């Protein structure tokens, strides 16, 4: 699934192409893509039509567009268009005359008759939802419990370190907890742990504060570098709003690199099953934690 860098690439593209535009119509071609909207396609169309797209925001891996009335450019935000990209969702800005994509699920047209916004999703795990917002930051209700990410200027690194140490689980499991530190998925967790020289099974209770800080700095660095490269694209499903792929996969140190030499020490990278996925690590740079004897 897309992680913070891939979602931020999409956010920036949307901010460039759709802000300030007023929605004219909404067309839904697959009901699964609006299953999170209680009233389905009808409600999505009613809540979007006539609204102006005012700002594109992100928290961790979650992306949304703030909606406003045409005559109310500076008023309070009361609703947001929340995008769930799932495993294959794409938000594309396309000329109206361009042929429809094979897996087009939702089309949003604007009253300027310019390029339209299309939601394309091969596996239909994702979707779009108009939702209410809550709190002083006007967060979409489904996102209100999500923590900040290491690239957020307001990220509380010391608080996150304390949260990691209190989790009483394996370090990677804690790092994937989006309520604690958001934006990190399987790819960047492995890359961050490699940079910090920490094993993914390290008990969080044994993590020192300097180690925790080192890990979060590494996470911020690797995701910043991935963002600069347009994200990580292993196939055509991970693209920006123009349909272009990122190329950070060329710089991955351990993720997907089983049996290849560690870039730091040359030891072959290992892989192990992890939560129905895989973990990749260097057995020399990231030694497995010693098991405690009771």
User: Would you state the pLDDT for residue 242?
Assistant: 84
Classify residue 290: in a domain, yes or no.
no
Q: Dihedrals φ, ψ of 104, to 5°? A: -65, 130
Contact 80, 64 (CB under 8 A): yes
Of 110, 123, 1, residue with least CA distance to 63: 1
Measured from the Cβ of residue 74, the count of other Cβ atoms closer than 10 Å reads 6
pLDDT at 238 over 70: no
- Based on the fold, state whether residues 121 and 172 are members of the same structural domain: no
Q: Is 21 labelled a binding residue?
A: no
| Domain span holding position 12 | 4-143
125-173: per-residue pLDDT in tens? 999 999 999 999 999 999 999 999 999 999 999 999 999 999 999 999 9
Residue with the larger pLDDT of the pair 99 and 231: 99
Q: Could you tell me how many residues make up the chain?
A: 294
User: Would you state the pLDDT for residue 235?
Assistant: 61
Tell me how many domains the chain contains: 2
Kindly report the average pLDDT of the chain as a whole number.
93
User: Would you state the pLDDT for residue 294?
Assistant: 40
Q: Which residues of 173-191 are buried (b: 16+ CB within 10 A; e: fewer)?
A: ebbbebebbbbbbbbbbbb
Radius of gyration of the chain measured on its C-alpha atoms: 21
Instruction: Residue 197: give its domain's CATH number.
Output: 1.10.8.50
Classify residue 124: in a domain, yes or no.
yes
- Based on the fold, state whether residues 122 and 198 are members of the same structural domain: no
- Based on the fold, state whether residues 85 and 167 are members of the same structural domain: no
- Based on the fold, state whether residues 8 and 105 are members of the same structural domain: yes
Q: Which of 112, 143, 174 is where one domain is finished?
A: 143
Classify residue 293: in a domain, yes or no.
no
User: Would you state the pLDDT for residue 243?
Assistant: 83
Q: Is 103 labelled a binding residue?
A: yes
pLDDT at 78 over 90: no
- Based on the fold, state whether residues 227 and 196 are members of the same structural domain: yes
Average pLDDT rounded to a whole number, residues 88-110:
96
- Based on the fold, state whether residues 106 and 232 are members of the same structural domain: no
User: Would you state the pLDDT for residue 234?
Assistant: 60
User: Would you state the pLDDT for residue 4?
Assistant: 93
pLDDT at 233 over 80: no
Predicted TM-score (pTM) of the model is: 0.93
Average pLDDT rounded to a whole number, residues 242-250:
84
Classify residue 149: in a domain, yes or no.
no
- Based on the fold, state whether residues 161 and 201 are members of the same structural domain: yes
Torsion of Cα atoms, 275 then 276 then 281 then 287, to 10°: 40
User: Would you state the pLDDT for residue 236?
Assistant: 65
- Based on the fold, state whether residues 121 and 164 are members of the same structural domain: no
Measured from the Cβ of residue 145, the count of other Cβ atoms closer than 10 Å reads 9
Instruction: Residue 77: give its domain's CATH number.
Output: 3.20.190.10
Q: Give the DSSP letter string of 65-80.
A: EEEE-TT-SSS---EE
* Residue 3 among the catalytic residues: yes
Contact 17, 241 (CB under 8 A): yes
* Active-site position among 59, 61, 118, 202: 61
User: Would you state the pLDDT for residue 237?
Assistant: 65
Classify residue 190: in a domain, yes or no.
yes
Model confidence band, residue 241 (pLDDT cutoffs 50, 70, 90): confident
- Based on the fold, state whether residues 110 and 171 are members of the same structural domain: no
Cβ within 8 Å of residue 126, ≥6 positions away: 33, 83, 84, 85, 86, 87, 88, 89, 119
Q: How far is CA 244 from CA 13, 80, 92, 125, 233, in A?
A: 11, 26, 10, 21, 9
* Active-site position among 3, 66, 116, 211: 3
Q: Which of 143, 170, 185 is where one domain is finished?
A: 143
- Based on the fold, state whether residues 184 and 267 are members of the same structural domain: yes
Spatial distance between the Cα atoms of 13 and 68, rounded to a whole number of angstroms: 20
pLDDT at 269 over 50: yes
- Based on the fold, state whether residues 162 and 131 are members of the same structural domain: no
Classify residue 151: in a domain, yes or no.
no
* Active-site position among 260, 277, 287, 288: 277
Average pLDDT rounded to a whole number, residues 108-136:
96
Q: Which residue is associated with the tokens 């700002």?
A: 55
Classify residue 288: in a domain, yes or no.
no
Six-digit token string for 173: 């499991």
* Active-site position among 2, 115, 140, 150: 2
Classify residue 148: in a domain, yes or no.
no
186-202: per-residue pLDDT in tens? 999 999 999 999 999 99
Contact 41, 98 (CB under 8 A): no
User: Would you state the pLDDT for residue 73?
Assistant: 62
- Based on the fold, state whether residues 139 and 54 are members of the same structural domain: yes
Q: Which of 114, 143, 172 is where one domain is finished?
A: 143
* Residue 2 among the catalytic residues: yes
20-77: per-residue pLDDT in tens? 999 999 999 999 999 999 999 999 999 999 999 999 999 999 999 999 988 666 677 8
């Amino acid at each position: 699934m897309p992680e913070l860098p891939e979602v931020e690439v999409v956010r920036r593209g949307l901010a460039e192409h759709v802000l300030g535009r007023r929605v004219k119509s909404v067309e839904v071609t697959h009901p699964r893509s609006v299953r999170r909207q209680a009233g389905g396609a009808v409600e999505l169309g009613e809540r979007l039509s006539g609204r102006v797209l005012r700002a594109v925001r992100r928290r961790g891996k979650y992306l949304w567009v703030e909606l406003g009335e045409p005559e109310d450019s500076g008023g309070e935000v009361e609703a947001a268009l929340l995008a769930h990209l799932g495993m294959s969702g794409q938000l594309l800005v396309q000329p109206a005359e361009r042929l429809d994509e094979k897996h087009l699920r939702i089309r949003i047209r604007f009253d300027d008759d310019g390029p339209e916004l299309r939601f394309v999703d091969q596996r239909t795990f994702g979707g779009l939802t108009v939702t209410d917002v809550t709190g002083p930051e006007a967060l979409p209700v489904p996102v209100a419990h999500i923590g900040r990410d290491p690239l957020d200027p307001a990220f509380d690194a010391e608080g996150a370190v304390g949260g990691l140490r209190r989790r009483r689980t394996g370090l990677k499991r804690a790092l994937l907890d989006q309520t604690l530190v958001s934006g990190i998925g399987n790819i960047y967790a492995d890359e961050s742990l490699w940079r910090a020289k920490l094993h993914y099974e390290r008990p969080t209770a044994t993590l020192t504060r300097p180690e925790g800080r080192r890990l979060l700095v590494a996470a911020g660095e690797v995701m910043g570098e991935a963002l600069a490269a347009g994200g990580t694209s292993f196939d055509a499903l991970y693209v920006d709003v123009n349909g272009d792929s990122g190329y950070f996969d060329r710089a991955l140190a351990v993720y997907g690199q089983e049996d290849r030499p560690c870039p730091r020490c040359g030891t072959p990278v290992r892989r192990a099953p992890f939560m129905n996925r895989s973990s990749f690590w260097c057995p020399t740079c990231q030694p497995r934690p010693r098991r405690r004897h009771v």
